[in-house]
Amino acid sequence: GLEGYGDRRVYELSGGEQQRVALARSLAPGPRLLMLDEPLGSLDRALREELMGELRAILKRVGVTSIYVTHDQQEAFAVSDRVIILRRGRVVQQGTPQDVYFHPASPWVARFLGLSNLVPGRVVAVEPGPGGETTVVVRSSLGQMTLRSAEPLGLDQEVTVLIRPEAARLVGEPAAEGECVLEGTVRGCSFRGSQTRLEVHHPPDVDLVFDVASGGQRLPE
């Protein structure tokens, strides 16, 4: 709370305190709809992380429908029940944060979410499976990959394969049956706390990024 701060000037409050006051003032009239435009944009990372959870809890408790505008994907996922992605004034995808992240509607949406490992390919084999899921073999510049798809795909159809940065692990021995193995050269290594980002080149011209756990594996120096 901010008890005892009533006589302070705006410039005497910290960034987080100013945001709390602004939110309280906007909620005081009891609006039916609240619009928040980049409310945490000027705050440092640690404070943004703290206020994201606090803001979501307050809006849930008050029960006011809110439109939250942000260019920060993680912020949108953390605060929202539903996410709408706009491109040139048009809605290109909407859904729960989980739906949008795990099922981007297009390569553009994937790139917007920071998922840059997009590999063009062509379907060379299709095998229908249970529950509407299809097993497909895709031929690409990375070789042939056996994948499962919830979307119906046809033989010889051109597709784009998304390889999630967090979905990879380093292996020093033959992988288990059914696993896709990629060989490449690590060209960059960036420590990011609990994760390390690897920049991997697969000849002749495919560059990928992967986020692997920083502990428990031997990583390039």
- Strand-pair partners of 210: 198
Look at strands 134-140 and 143-149 and give their pairing: antiparallel
CA distances from 216 to 85, 108, 175, 181 (A): 37, 34, 18, 20
Q: Which helix (H) or strand (E) holds 24?
A: helix 15-27
Predicted pLDDT at 8:
66
Predicted pLDDT at 6:
61
* Helix/strand/coil percentages in the chain, nearest 5: 25, 35, 40
Selection from 130, 166, 175 nearest residue 148 by Cα: 130
Predicted pLDDT at 217:
58
Cα–Cα distance measured from residue 221 to residue 190, given in angstroms and rounded to the nearest whole number: 9
Predicted pLDDT at 152:
84
Predicted pLDDT at 1:
55
Predicted pLDDT at 176:
57
Using alpha carbons only, give the angle 163, 165, 166 rounded to the nearest 5 degrees.
115
Selection from 206, 207, 84, 185 nearest residue 140 by Cα: 206
Mean pLDDT by 10 residues, the chain (221 residues): 62 72 86 90 82 89 92 90 95 96 94 93 89 87 88 91 87 64 88 90 92 71 58
Predicted pLDDT at 18:
78
* One-character DSSP codes across 141-203: TTEEEEEEESS---TT-EEEEE--GGG----SSPPPTT------EEEEEEEETTEEEEEEEET
Cα–Cα distance measured from residue 138 to residue 121, given in angstroms and rounded to the nearest whole number: 6
Cα–Cα distance measured from residue 134 to residue 183, given in angstroms and rounded to the nearest whole number: 26
Q: Under 8 Å CB-to-CB from 156, ≥6 apart: which residues?
A: 122, 123, 124
